[in-house]
Structure 1
Amino acid sequence: MLWALALGLLWASTILAAPFENKPRQKVLLISFDGFRWDYDRYVDTPNLDQMARDGVKAMYVTPPYLTITSPTHFTLLSGRYIENHGVIHNMWFNTSTQEKKPYYQSQFVNEWWDNGSLPIWITAQRQGLKAGSLHFPGTASSYQGQVAMVREVEPLLYNYKNETAWRENTDKVMGWFRDQDLDFVSMYFGEPDGTGHRYGPNSPQIRAMVQQVDRTVGYIRQTAEHYGLKDRLNIIITADHGMSNVYRNGLVEEITLSKIPGFSFKDVSFHLVDFGPSGMLLPKPGRLDKVYNALKGAHPHLHVYKKEEMPERLHFSKNGRILPIILWADPGYVINGYFPVQFHKGEHGFDNQEMDMKPFFRAVGPAFRQNLEVGPFETVNIYPLMCHILGIKPEVNDGHLNATQHMLVTSSGTQGEFYQANEPPPWP
């Protein structure tokens, strides 16, 4: 009798401790559609994204880390760390001593820029016995503590990010990785609608057409997962790195051009990162920090100027040796020019992450997720611990919190189909 009671207790404790143990091992596909703003689906018909929301989870929006540009925010998705902690502080690798700068694509191959102490989820998963891959995701080209994603593909130089046929071919390839090589985790990157938003602006007919292309691709991704026999095991998380904002030009506003500001001179600066959108950093020459800072502070009503140590704590963008002593950013609609205007984009990102135009979208569907659930906003830093939880791996040290997203999962208490109203106590911190 006692033996039977003990056996029953052991059985019960096993069930409670491992809710997924009797199910097939969960897989995760993390997809980023670069620059997909949280509200893009409001302006065009997106039947596949709408169906994904009914079949899974939709967030009102998510908040990326600052600086809201591609490589830093993507590495936050992979590591669960704020940018000051993971150290990939810009799209561009740079050397303040030699004045050298590498553009986005070339920076992908500068290993020490990425391998800076934080591990992407590929390496963590592989160290714990899983198989991981990545297709075109920022950071894929580099190794981390001598290791790389088991299966990986880096896009070639001058790659056409808009080619819808290539999108489908890449989808087939990734689903084949899951089925034929039994991968557990894959990160997959699409370079749109970012490029279209830059060129034509976020309110253009062209961006609406590109959003429809994204929607068709989401439908194809889900159909292909089912065709490859992955529906009951694969959890698909779709999000983005940042949003997009209109840029004011053609005499509508007084543009920010640093060389025209009284008292400021580039002769007082030994290195600068400006002319790359609404954000910038300056390294003043020895003894000239205060001169540069005082000349710029308050010089334009839409230019924010901070010494590194004075940066707002909420931005988590100061405590890293790679961040330069003076940080600049502009209000939405403005870009920062150096000697003279050289930027002609109609859309831009890189603004304060509190700005609504910088918020990306979020969808998730699969056996781990509840259905027809709309949740409130959360920070993208929290996606990493969510993925680790689904995969059943122990996360590295990170800045995210599982309790920000755990209510999305089928193991969370509550019924499907509910929405967390603004006046309810939110289940995230």
Structure 2
Amino acid sequence: MKKLSIALLLVFACLEGFSQIVVPVTDTAQQIIAGRKNSPAQQKKPYVILISADGFRWDYADRYNAENLIRLRKQGVAAASMQPSYPSVTFPNHYAMVSGLYPSHSGLVNNSFYDRDRKEFYSMGNKKKVADGSWYGGSPLWVLAEQQQMKSASFYWVASEAAIKEIRPSYYYIYNEKINTHNRISAVVDWLKLPTDERPHLITFYFPQVDHAGHLHTPESPEVAHEVHYVDSAVNELYKAVKTTGLNVNFVFVSDHGMTKVNTEEQIRIPAAIDTSKFTISGDGILVELYAKDKSSIQPTYDELKKEAKNYQVYLKTNVPARLHYGTADDRHNRIGDILLIPDWPMVFNLSNRKTINPGWHGYDPTLIKDMHATFYAWGPAFKKHLHIKTFQNVDVFNMISRILGLKINPLDKVDGTAKLADEILVKKAVKK
């Protein structure tokens, strides 16, 4: 009976998320926060467009000959890869890049998770939760910009719909897939043609297509190749359209994580040691977290799981490997489970006992599994030319963009990002127009 309880819990969670994510919301109108202006000093600052192609693995551009991205990266900087934060999934890593915080430090610890203090779940499929700024720690780039009288805009980015510290971008859209790419690009151009006191200097832009194809068809599929070429063409269209404004804009092209082919034949089923009367369960195929209703249940359950574990690792919150930044010492928001189950690549949990699971997954330890690594390219006046750099951690993107825009980082946020990336790839005086 306890196994059925877990299965039903996860099935309902998946159905909720699926209904929210796949069915587009009806609100396609641009949201505008009235009454803001760029200060005279901020009007002289550079412009940055931060583009994310979800699930665009580190090797996709070369594997599938994304000729436009290859050409554009040659004008600036290309990283061997970019290492996502753990867990290597969409919401935590999009937020890590714009906040400079590891997921355990920002509080956005997974796409879906349980909060002990609130006694409620956060889910990327729950629009109300996603738009609630109290779930997010730190100060994302658009919050820093708006606090310092620099206008920002978002054509989609994780948390950009939420009032974090009571602040949203000056211009933003509620996530939906009804607006076609050409119209999204036109909106960016319109923003950049606004008067100088109204014009956003930070713009975020998001593509979901490659991730969708990777999950359904695996990274080596013709479907992924098709979507890589689609994104490649769209980025080139955006680049050419922005050129018509006459502004010398900086472009940063990133992804949140990679993708890998998993073992769909030998799936990990519900461990017998899990008793849902004693634990609240949160998780998916790559990370399962158990939250004890009574702390006395933790050690006995952990011991039993360790005995029966096959093709997965079992950790107490107190002994999670430090490299993951996902244990007791890092849990600033008390949202990490008391017991964690992490499958060995390429294994996946099938906790809902579905007959089939997607053949493409991400979420594994990026320090061990290279397929989890993401893409990073950048070009424009702030960047050095024809530069190839080694792999770096994605939290450094925050510091780098902050430097280009001349934004002061709030020391109270205790960001994990460093100045190393900015020092390596930016030209001197990069913050000047």
TM-fit CA distance, 1:332: 2.2
Cα pair 1:52 1:365 within 8 Å, conserved:
yes
The 1:150/1:346 distance shift into structure 2, 3 A limit, reads same
Written as runs of structure 1 = structure 2, the 5 A alignment for 1:201-350 is 201-230=218-247, 232=248, 234-250=249-265, 253=266, 255-259=267-271, 261=272, 264-267=273-276, 269-274=278-283, 276-286=284-294, 287-297=296-306, 299-318=308-327, 319-320=330-331, 321-338=334-351, 340-341=353-354, 344-350=357-363
Residues 114-193 of structure 1 mapped to structure 2, 5 A cutoff: 115-156=135-176, 159=177, 166-180=180-194, 181-193=198-210
Instruction: Please say if residues 256 and 334 of structure 1, whose CA atoms lie closer than 8 Å, have aligned partners that are also in contact.
Output: yes
Counterpart in the other structure of 1:198: 215
Q: Distance in 1 between matches of 2:79 and 2:389?
A: 5
Cα distance in 2 for partners of 1:192, 1:226 equals 25
Q: Give the Å deviation of 1:336.
A: 1.6
**CA, structure 1 residues 34+313, in 2 after alignment: closer, same or farther (shift >3 Å)?**
same
Deviations 1:269-297 (CA, angstroms, capped at 9, x unpaired): 421013x2211111134221112211222
Amino acid at match of 1:179: K
Instruction: Determine if the alignment matches structure 1 residue 64 to structure 2 residue 84.
Output: yes
Query: Residue 47 and residue 100 in structure 1: after superposition, are their counterparts in 2 closer, same or farther (change >3 A)?
Result: same
Quote the residue 2:380 is aligned against. 366
State the alpha-carbon separation in 2 of the partners of residues 186 and 341 from structure 1.
40
Contact 1:89 1:322 in 2 (8 A): yes
Question: What is the CA distance between 1:111 and its match in structure 2?
Answer: 4.8
Q: Which residue of 2 aligns with 1:419?
A: none
CA distance change for structure 1 residues 339 and 105 in 2, over 3 Å: closer, same or farther? Answer: closer
Q: Which amino acid aligns with 1:334?
A: M
Q: Mark the CA change 1:342 to 1:187 in structure 2 (over 3 Å): closer, same or farther.
A: farther
| CA positional deviation for 1:218 | 1.6
TM-score, reference length from structure 1: 0.82
Distance in structure 2 (CA, Å) of the matches to 1:110 and 1:295? 36
Change (3 A) 1:153 1:342: farther
From 72, 76, 87, the equivalent of 2:107 is 87
Choose 55-64 or 322-331, whichever is displaced more. Answer: 322-331
SS at match of 2:246: coil
1:352 matched to 2:365: yes
How many angstroms apart in 1 are the aligned matches of 2:75 and 2:117? 53
1:38-57 correspondence runs (5 A):
38-57=58-77
Contact 2:123 2:129 in 1 (8 A): no
Q: Percent identity?
A: 27
Q: Out of 404, 418, 426, which is 1:409 matched to?
A: 426
- What residue in structure 1 maps to residue 23 of structure 2? none
Q: CA deviation at 1:389?
A: 0.4
Contact 2:156 2:206 in 1 (8 A): yes
Deviation, structure 1 residue 98 = 9.4
Give me the whole-angstrom Cα distance separating, in 2, the residues matched to 1:99 and 1:144.
21
* Equivalent AA in structure 2 for residue 349 of structure 1: H
Moved more, 295-304 or 96-105: 96-105
CA shift in 2, pair 1:342/1:90, >3 Å: farther
Structure 1 80/267 Cα, relative in aligned 2: closer, same or farther at 3 Å? Answer: closer
What do residues 275-325 of structure 1 show as CA deviations (whole Å, max 9, x unaligned)? x22111111342211122112225344211111111111111122201111
- Distance (Å, rounded) in 2 between the aligned partners of 1:385 and 1:295: 44
CA distance in 2, matches of 1:269, 1:29: 47
Give 2:192's aligned amino acid. F
Distance 1:179 1:139 in 2: 26
Letter in 2 for 1:239: V
Alignment CA distance shift 1:171-1:38 (3 Å): same
1:133–1:186: 8 Å Cα contact kept in structure 2? yes
Matched pairs, number: 377
Question: Normalized against structure 2, the TM-score is what?
Answer: 0.81
